[in-house]
Structure 1
Amino acid sequence: MKHVTLVVPDGEINLNSLAGAYEILTRADDYWQRIGNPPKLKVQIAGFVSELPVHQHYFAIHPGDIRQIKKTDLLIIPSLFGDYEELIRQNSNLIDWISRQYRDGAEIASMCSGAFLLAATGLLDDRLCSTHWNVVSEFHERFPRVRIAADKIITDENGIYTNGGGYSFLNLMLYLVEKIFDRPTAIFCSKIFQIDIERTTQSPFTIFHVQKSHGDDIISRAQQYIEDNIEEKISFEKLAIQLAISRRNFDRRFVKATGNTPVEYLQRVKIEAAKKELEKGRKTVFEVMSDVGYTDDKAFREVFKKITGLSPMDYRHRYSKAG
């Protein structure tokens, strides 16, 4: 029998991710037994705290004592809210416990921003990690050695699983169910809980947040120029000259400040503007393409799909207010 521990950190957590994981795993095991198999899971909810009020004290979790669990096969970290630095500080005992369990052979899964707690163990250094697209910048600043897979719903590397944001933890749970049980059991859970079993990317949900807190005045001016002229064909050679900086130095400082090359940044600004217009539903795809400075339909569609995971037409059908 496989032992699964849903860990309860000290701090504000997403109760839905904890309860949802418990419900899916126990329902999967119930189904497994109904079709003639012996029980396969023992699921416990445990932490160093005996009670944890959540969501403005409307709910409370009463976990078991994690110190009584000497060995687990899989531990799952729920999504977190709030000040991540403070959460890491006040959960040092739990972070040590997670590290020891991994060294003793346990697998680890983190949901959404639970990746902050997992990364604090050092186990994600030089490995792929997914987390909510909205905290990628903060995560990268805190854990620069972790290779962020910002567009992925799930990563799986050396017994460590991570997933993207919000309710995409449901996709992670189906993924784990399939690994623990089998594909038919995962399909059963996908039907019972009505979860799309094939979702692999969070790109369509990503909102591009412009990084301007870097303190580099020259790059801030460059960003502003790009945002004010998205319909124009921008020459970064000329822009660098206008800013009295070499092109090589300009590129280096731009990447350091924003996490994107100038070309990537321009593409993301254009596509974010295009998304907003497509969501309004009042213009054709061709009109939107022209508004953001593209003249080549094929190039626009390729860049749009690369960034969002959808074609412009599919994006409009899915998110248009008119449709």
Structure 2
Amino acid sequence: MKHISILIPEGDISFSNIEATYKMFTKVNEALERTGKAPLFKVQLVGLSPDARITNGLFSITPELVVQDTVKTDLIIIPAVHGDMRRVVEANQGFVPWIVRQYEKGAEVVSLCIGAFLLASTGLLNGRSCTTHWLAADEFRQMFPQVQLLPYKIITDEGGIYTSGGAYSSLNLILYLVEKFAGRTMAVRSSKIFEIDIDRNSQSPFIIFQGQKEHQDEPIKKAQEFIELNFQNKITVEELADRSFLGRRNFERRFKKATSNTVVEYIQRVKIEAAKIGLETSRENVNEVMYSVGYSDTKAFRTTFKKITGISPLEYRNKYHKAAAELA
């Protein structure tokens, strides 16, 4: 039987992460027992102290075990904890040596959504890939530059360490683990019971591009603002460099360092974000939206749109247009 430890960290925990994770694994056990098979999982809540009691005003959670009690576990699950992430990490450092020790003994480790911050603080993600909620991507990169963040991903799986993207995409990761440990048939059954898209693998369609301006390079900020005000027009790197009174190579180097995008990538992302808004809210068709954001090449527009969002412009419109949503 696989022992699963769901951590109960200090702070404003995502109760939905804990409840959904606990329920999905225990429902698998129930399904197995109904067919005369032994349960696969023993799921327990683990805290830092026996007095730990987490409440959200409506519900309270008290851990069954503390880190000193669990001699050996097989899977550690770290839920999202909201708030000032540096304080969250600091408040939960008591978990770190235990997580590292269990991993060294063969346990696998999972973070859900922004639980990736606590996981990254263990050092286990250094040199590895991970994902988290796309809204927290810039802050995560600042705190953990040694981790390769893939914020468009729904799930990462690397060396016995798993991470999930934003909010309810944590369910996709739990379903992925159900498939890994209990088989595809049980995962499909669980996906139907909990109404989860079993093959969803990207959070790109949900990402709202807001521009990376949490840096101190003022000429680059001004270049970003110029792009955002003039994206419908043809903008060249040379033009932006001249406006910034910088040489092209120096400008490109500083732009990439400040924004994590090349100049061309940034222009594309601004255009596609505007296109997403047009497809969501206007009555214009896909080609009209394409022209309005400065594209004239249909193939280039569709290719870039799909690269950034993971789906085609038409699929995006059908999925997110206000009128379509009201009919759904």
- The 2-side partners of 1:28 and 1:70 are apart by 25
Deviations 1:254-303 (A, max 9, x none): 11111111111101100001111110131111111111110000000000
Q: Which region of structure 1 is more displaced relative to structure 2, 31-40 or 126-135?
A: 31-40
Q: In 2, Cα distance between the equivalents of 1:226 and 1:113?
A: 31
Which residue pairs with 1:52 in the alignment?
53
Match of 1:142 in 2: 143
**Cα contact 1:132–1:165 (8 A) shared by 2:** yes
Equivalent residue number for residue 193 of structure 1: 194
Deviation at 1:307, TM superposition (A): 0.5
Given residue 9 of structure 1, which amino acid in structure 2 is its aligned partner? P
Q: Matched residues in 2 for 1:285 and 1:185: separation? A: 40
Contact map agreement 2:275 2:293 (CA 8 A) in 1: yes
Give the equivalent residue in structure 1 for 2:37: 37
Partner AA of 2:288 in structure 1: E
Report the RMSD for the aligned CA atoms in angstroms: 1.0
In the superposition, the TM-score normalised over structure 1's length comes to 0.97
Matched with 1:292 is 293
Matched, 1:12 2:12: yes
**Aligned residue type for 2:84:** D
2:63 paired residue number: 63
Opposite residue 10 of structure 1, the aligned amino acid is E
Change in CA separation of 1:267 and 1:31 when aligned onto 2, cut-off 3 Å: same
AA aligned to 2:35 is I
Q: What is the deviation of 1:51? A: 3.3
Q: What secondary structure does 1:322 align onto?
A: helix
Q: Structure 1: how far apart are the matches of 2:55 and 2:256?
A: 39
Q: Quick one: which amino acid aligns to residue 300 of structure 2?
A: A
> Which amino acid counterpart does residue 255 of structure 2 have in structure 1?
F
Counterparts of 1:1-323 in structure 2, within 5 Å, are 1-49=1-49, 50-55=51-56, 57-66=57-66, 67-323=68-324
Post-superposition CA distance 1:62-91 (Å, at most 9, x none): 112322111100010011100110111111
**Alpha-carbon shift at residue 243 of structure 1 (Å):** 1.7
Q: What is the CA–CA distance in structure 2 between the aligned matches of 1:174 and 1:147, rounded to whole Å?
A: 24
CA distance in 2, matches of 1:213, 1:138: 9
Opposite residue 97 of structure 2, the aligned amino acid is D
Rounded Cα–Cα distance in structure 1 between residues aligned with 2:135 and 2:280: 20
Residue 225 (structure 1) shift: 1.1
Q: Deviations over 1:293-316 (max 9, x none)?
A: 100000000000111111111101
Q: Is the 8 A contact 1:11 1:52 kept in 2?
A: no
Distance, in Å, in 1 between the alignment partners of 2:101 and 2:267 is 44
Q: How far apart are 1:100 and its partner, in Å?
A: 0.9
Report the AA paired with residue 79 of structure 2.
Answer: P
What secondary structure, in the 3-state scheme, does the structure 2 residue paired with 1:39 have? Answer: coil
Q: Which amino acid aligns with 1:250?
A: F
Query: 1:142-167: CA deviations, max 9, x gaps?
Result: 00011111111111111001010010
| Kept after mapping to 2: 8 A contact 1:130/1:155 | yes
Cα drift, residue 53 of structure 1:
3.1
- SS of equivalent to 1:69: coil
* Unaligned 5+ runs, structure 1: none
On the 8 A contact 1:155/1:161 being kept in 2, the answer is yes
Unaligned runs of 5+ in 2: none
Corresponding letter in the other structure for 1:69: T
Q: Is the 8 A contact 1:51 1:60 kept in 2?
A: no
What is the aligned-residue identity percentage?
51
Provide the secondary structure at the position in 2 that maps to 1:42.
strand
State how far apart, in whole Å, the 2-side matches of 1:82 and 1:306 are.
Answer: 32
